[in-house]
C-alpha cells in the first residue's frame, strides 16, 4: 500500500503498515478502498455558523432574542412552516446560529457566505436574524449513511468517513471510533496482538443504532403541520417516564450496547462502567482493571501487564470496597518511590 502525501509544495510517498481514513464524509480513502457508503440524503440543507454578537445576551441567559418581522426567537431550535432556525449561545458574546430549509446539496462546506445564511434565515423566519461578525460558517446537506465495511485489509475507516447522521451526535460516535481503533493498532504494532477485527464488530453496530435514532430525530424535527406538533407533544409526554427516557438516552450515547467479549460472562462485562465509586482511582488517568469475581488468574494478568508497562503491581483499594458486586479493585498505577 502506498500513500501519496502533498503538503504545501512538498510531495512524498509513504508505505504504511496500516492506513486509517479519517478524511470526512467524502473520504478518498473509503473510495479508493472500494467500500460502499449506502444511505440517503434528505432534501434539506443545514447552514450554520458562530458569530460574535454581544447584543444577543438573551440567547445565553435563556431569555431569547427579538427578531424584527418574526417576534421572539427561543433559545434552541425554532420551527416555522418553511424550516427551522437554531439560535443559542454557550459562552457570553458568541452566538451559534443555524438554518435548516429544503434545498439542494451545497457546492462545498466552506463556500457559505454571510449574505447566503441571512437570506436563508429570512426565507424561513420571514424576519431579519440579527447576526454579528462570523467566526466560521459552514453548510452541509443532511444525510444518513453507513460504510458497508470499516476495514479492507490494512485500511480502516473512522468518523465521518465511516458514518454520517441526519441529526446531532456525530462526535459521540466518531470520537469513540478513534479511541477503539487507536490502542488496537498500537497493540498490533507493539504486541502483534490481532484485535483489529473487533474494531468493526464493536463500532459498526453502534453507528447503525445511531443512524436509527438520528433518522428518527430528523423525522421528528421535519414532521410538519398539526400532525408534526402532535407527534412531538406525544413523544415529549412519553419521555417524562424514566423507562423510555433511560432507553432513549442509552440509545443516544451508545451505552445500550454490550461487547460480547466473554460469551456468558458477567452482565457488566463489555459494558460502559456503571455508577461505581471509582472517582479517586480515575484521577491519574491510568488504566484500572476491575475484577468483579476476585479471580487469581485475573490478578496474575494484571501483575504481568503492570510489570511490562513499568507500573506497580495490583493493589487493593485503600479505603473499603467498591459498591455492588465488586469485591476487588485492581489498580495499575505508577510505582511509588
138 makes contact with ligand FAD (CB under 6 A):
yes
As measured in angstroms, the least distance from the Cβ of 315 to ligand FAD is 38
Neighbour tally for 173: CB within 10 Å: 23
Site for ligand FAD in 142-171 (CB under 6 A): 159-161, 168-171
As measured in angstroms, the least distance from the Cβ of 284 to ligand FAD is 28
144 vs 174, beta carbon nearer ligand FAD: 174
Q: What CA–CA distances, in Å, run from 15 to 2, 33, 50, 195?
A: 5, 15, 40, 22
24 makes contact with ligand FAD (CB under 6 A):
yes
215 vs 311, beta carbon nearer ligand FAD: 215
Consecutive H or E run containing 231 = helix 225-238
Q: How many residues of this chain bind ligand FAD (CB under 6 A)?
A: 17
22 makes contact with ligand FAD (CB under 6 A):
yes
What is the distance between the alpha carbons of residues 122 and 127, in angstroms, rounded to a whole number? 5
Nearest residue to ligand FAD on Cβ basis: 159
300: which residues sit within 8 A by CB, 6+ positions away?
none
As measured in angstroms, the least distance from the Cβ of 146 to ligand FAD is 13
What is the distance between the alpha carbons of residues 301 and 86, in angstroms, rounded to a whole number? 51
206 vs 292, beta carbon nearer ligand FAD: 206
Which of 56, 140, 210, 314 is the binder for ligand FAD (CB under 6 A)?
140
What is the distance between the alpha carbons of residues 314 and 305, in angstroms, rounded to a whole number? 10
248 vs 268, beta carbon nearer ligand FAD: 248
Which runs of consecutive H residues, i.e. helices, occur in 145-196? 170-190
42 makes contact with ligand FAD (CB under 6 A):
no
Burial 4-15 (b: 16+ CB within 10 A, else e): eeeeeeeeeeee
118 vs 138, beta carbon nearer ligand FAD: 138
| Residue of 107, 106, 104, 133 lying closest to 118 (CA atoms) | 133
What is the distance between the alpha carbons of residues 217 and 191, in angstroms, rounded to a whole number? 42
What x-and-dash track marks residues 211-230 binding ligand FAD by CB under 6 A? --------------------
> How many helices (H) does the chain have, and how many strands (E)?
9, 15
Which of 20, 48, 125, 147 is the binder for ligand FAD (CB under 6 A)?
48
28 makes contact with ligand FAD (CB under 6 A):
yes
What is the distance between the alpha carbons of residues 251 and 172, in angstroms, rounded to a whole number? 11
Q: What is the DSSP string of 75-97?
A: SEEEEETTEEEEEEEEETTEEEE
SS3 311: strand
167 vs 302, beta carbon nearer ligand FAD: 167
138 vs 312, beta carbon nearer ligand FAD: 138
What x-and-dash track marks residues 266-305 binding ligand FAD by CB under 6 A? ----------------------------------------
Chain residues in the site for ligand FAD (CB under 6 A): 22-24, 28, 48, 109, 138, 140, 159-161, 168-172, 174
Amino acid at each position: 500500500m502506498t500513500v501519496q502525501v502533498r503538503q504545501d509544495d512538498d510531495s512524498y510517498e509513504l508505505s504504511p503498515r496500516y492506513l486509517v481514513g479519517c478524511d470526512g464524509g467524502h473520504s478518498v480513502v473509503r473510495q479508493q478502498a472500494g467500500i460502499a457508503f449506502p444511505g440517503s440524503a434528505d432534501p434539506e440543507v443545514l447552514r450554520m455558523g458562530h458569530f460574535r454578537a454581544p447584543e444577543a445576551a438573551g440567547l445565553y441567559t435563556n431569555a431569547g432574542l427579538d427578531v424584527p418581522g418574526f417576534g421572539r426567537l427561543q433559545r434552541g431550535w425554532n420551527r416555522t412552516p418553511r424550516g427551522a432556525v437554531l439560535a443559542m449561545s454557550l459562552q457570553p458574546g458568541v452566538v451559534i446560529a443555524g438554518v435548516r430549509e429544503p434545498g439542494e446539496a451545497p457546492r462545498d462546506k466552506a463556500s457559505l457566505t454571510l449574505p447566503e445564511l441571512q437570506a436563508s434565515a429570512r426565507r424561513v423566519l420571514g424576519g431579519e436574524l440579527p447576526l454579528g461578525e462570523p467566526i466560521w460558517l459552514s453548510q452541509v446537506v443532511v444525510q444518513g449513511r453507513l460504510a458497508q465495511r470499516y476495514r479492507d485489509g490494512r485500511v480502516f475507516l473512522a468518523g465521518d468517513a465511516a458514518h454520517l447522521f441526519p441529526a446531532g451526535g456525530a462526535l459521540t460516535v466518531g470520537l469513540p471510533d478513534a479511541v477503539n481503533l487507536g490502542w488496537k493498532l498500537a497493540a498490533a504494532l507493539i504486541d502483534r496482538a490481532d484485535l483489529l477485527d473487533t474494531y468493526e464488530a464493536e463500532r459498526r453496530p453502534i453507528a447503525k443504532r445511531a443512524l436509527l435514532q438520528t433518522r428518527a430525530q430528523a423525522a421528528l424535527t421535519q414532521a410538519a403541520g398539526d400532525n408534526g406538533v402532535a407527534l412531538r407533544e406525544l413523544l415529549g409526554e412519553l419521555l417524562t417516564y424514566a423507562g423510555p427516557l433511560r432507553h432513549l438516552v442509552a440509545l443516544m450515547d451508545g451505552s445500550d450496547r454490550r461487547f460480547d467479549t466473554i460469551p456468558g460472562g458477567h452482565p457488566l462485562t463489555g459494558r460502559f462502567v456503571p455508577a461505581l465509586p471509582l472517582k479517586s482511582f480515575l484521577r491519574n488517568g491510568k488504566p484500572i482493571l476491575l475484577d468483579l469475581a476476585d479471580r487469581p488468574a485475573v490478578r496474575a494478568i494484571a501483575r504481568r501487564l503492570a510489570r511490562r508497562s513499568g507500573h506497580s503491581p495490583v493493589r487493593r483499594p485503600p479505603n473499603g470496597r467498591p459498591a455492588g458486586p465488586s469485591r476487588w479493585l485492581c489498580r495499575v498505577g505508577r510505582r511509588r518511590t
